[in-house]
Amino acid sequence: MNKFFQTCAIAGLTAAAAFTATSLEARPSRATTGAKYIIFLIGDGMSSVQVQATEAFLAANNGLDPNVATEMDNAENLLNMNLLPVRGINTTYASNRFITDSAAAGTALATGSKTNYGVIGKDTSLTQSYMSIAEMAQEKNYKVGIVSSVSLDHATPGAFYANVDSRNSYELIAVQAAQSGFNFFGGGGWRRASNNAYPAAFPAMSGNTLTEMFTLAGYSMLNDETSIRALKSAPQDMVVCTVPVLQSSDAMPYEIDRAPGAISLAEMTEIAIDCLYANNTTGFFLMVEGGKIDWACHANDPMGTIGDMVDFDNAVGKAIEFYNQHPDETLIVVTGDHETGGLTIGFSGTGYETSFANLLNQASSYEAFGAVLAAYKTNRSFSDPYDPVSENIDSAMKTQIVDSFGIDYDSLSAYRQQRLEDAFDRSMGGVPLTGTSAPSGYVGGSTTIDSLNYGGYDALTMELCHQFSQDTGLGWTSYAHTAVPIPVMAMGFDDYRFAGFYDNTDIAKSIAAAMRVSHDLPHVVAVED
């Protein structure tokens, strides 16, 4: 069992639990100056299913049975976000797609405006740029912080400070981060940190590095845990904190893979709050993204998903701890930007049964298992050309499978063994998949069923994730996003604004109203020539 599942502490339980359903009533605003402290937490890819599955896992982790209502409802299984008293639900569609992406959804959540798939902070014509609620907070002399478990120039964090035609313009997004004047950036790294593309977009810099760009803009760049943790006792302003160990795409490690004692998303949130609150009589706005929930769901990785859900919820707990000290001035809002993976609780092969205790058998994320698989492939000699008849899963791979997923190959049915063997041949030797081609028009084209079976990921890794999920009673319908509505939870100043059913653009508008900003949303700040 991975270390962090042993201590899924729920912060802020007592104070949050003291709120009752009466908080849902439309209470009058308590001041004309607006919320002083706003903490907006976005679980990328998170819907009600991810929330419910995580609580069911916590029940199993606590030795309780999610199939028994009284045990499932035990307070120790509840996520911090589900202790927030005001509930809503929002739609997520983009201007040009019913199924959105994080750029369009992030723009909606940050600016109160719909836009097209892939666009950040601009309208559909790409001729107008919008001001984000973070920038509106800055205009009120609030300090502003951005925290994410993925790279800090990714779509969701970027939506709060950048205006670009394409979410893939990582260099320009990072330049706009440096130019933002925001007080704190923390979590992952920057996607183009090692290239020389920054000077063209930021001519004032004297060198070619991202570090020089931020330094010239007045930031301190920290990337070791000692220096980052020192901010708790000696907070700084204008600081960029990147954890020293990153996984692919310059993101923080998945929580299930995080080394013992390494900085988590929750701890980075705590550090951000410390820095933003210090020497600050005006207020602050903090956006925290659990970005790797989305990435794990894209890969249909059950414990990659739930692990990062737990870490994200612990970040919510840090927000609640701060709220407990400043209850009359703080607003906490939690939501997702869209659902990812089409996750559902229920699988045709398990009927009405679930077995969430099975999740305790997964030891690492799909990404970490992929690294193990790559080493195995390097160390094993295969026939040349690869022969799928003679090449089979050997004892070493069987051991790795049981160690990583708790799946005992030899006890499986012949059907399940064959599924694994087909995936093994695809992973090790690139053997074409058996069966009919995908229908014309499917993602991936009409000549391959790779996209349907494995979504472009490693075949054996995906087959194991699927069989492991199915043993638990979980199902996945997609490797992409879905269009299901997303829950919203809120607590604190003007929290009544977040009750009901509404569009994702209304969340930004409600936060802006709670801050008493001087602009209506969406607010155009620039018109392109």
Please identify every residue annotated as catalytic: 102
Q: Which two tokens stand for residue 115?
A: 């836009």
User: 């959105």: which residue's tokens?
Assistant: 100
**Read out DSSP for 176-222?**
HHHHH--SEEEES--TTTTSS-HHHH-TT-SSS-HHHHHHHTT-EEE
165 appears as a binding residue in the annotation? no
d(CA 146, CA 135): 12
294 appears as a binding residue in the annotation? yes
What contacts 359, CB < 8 A, 6 or more positions away?
Answer: 57, 60, 302, 303, 306, 472
d(CA 304, CA 365): 5
Q: Are 473 and 345 in contact (CB under 8 A)?
A: yes
Cα angle 415-419-422, degrees, rounded to a multiple of 5:
135
338 appears as a binding residue in the annotation? yes
Amino acid at site 78: L
Q: How many helices and strands, by DSSP H and E, does the chain display? A: 19, 16
Q: Which two tokens stand for residue 247?
A: 């996984």
289 appears as a binding residue in the annotation? yes
Q: Three-class SS string for 256-322? A: HHCCCCCCCHHHHHHHHHHHHHCCCCCCEEEEEEECHHHHHHHCCCHHHHHHHHHHHHHHHHHHHHH
Start-to-end C-alpha separation, the chain: 57
Other beta carbons less than 10 A from residue 230's beta carbon: 14
> What's the residue count for the chain?
529
519 appears as a binding residue in the annotation? no
Q: Of the candidates 346, 303, 259, which has an alpha carbon nearest to the alpha carbon of residue 57?
A: 303
156 appears as a binding residue in the annotation? yes
Q: Of the candidates 225, 257, 221, which has an alpha carbon nearest to the alpha carbon of residue 240?
A: 221
Q: Are 498 and 23 in contact (CB under 8 A)?
A: no
Amino acid at site 379: N
Q: Which residues pair with 41 in a beta bridge?
A: 288, 334
Q: Which two tokens stand for residue 211?
A: 């570090």
Phi-psi region of 127 (alpha: psi -120 to 50; beta: other; left: phi over 0): alpha
Q: Are 295 and 255 in contact (CB under 8 A)?
A: no
User: 């790409």: which residue's tokens?
Assistant: 126
Distances (CA, A) of 115 to 91, 256, 340, 358, 512: 14, 34, 19, 41, 19
Amino acid at site 296: A
d(CA 459, CA 319): 39
Binding site listing for Mg(2+) = 44, 154, 156, 289
Binding site listing = 44, 154, 156, 289, 294, 298, 337-338, 481
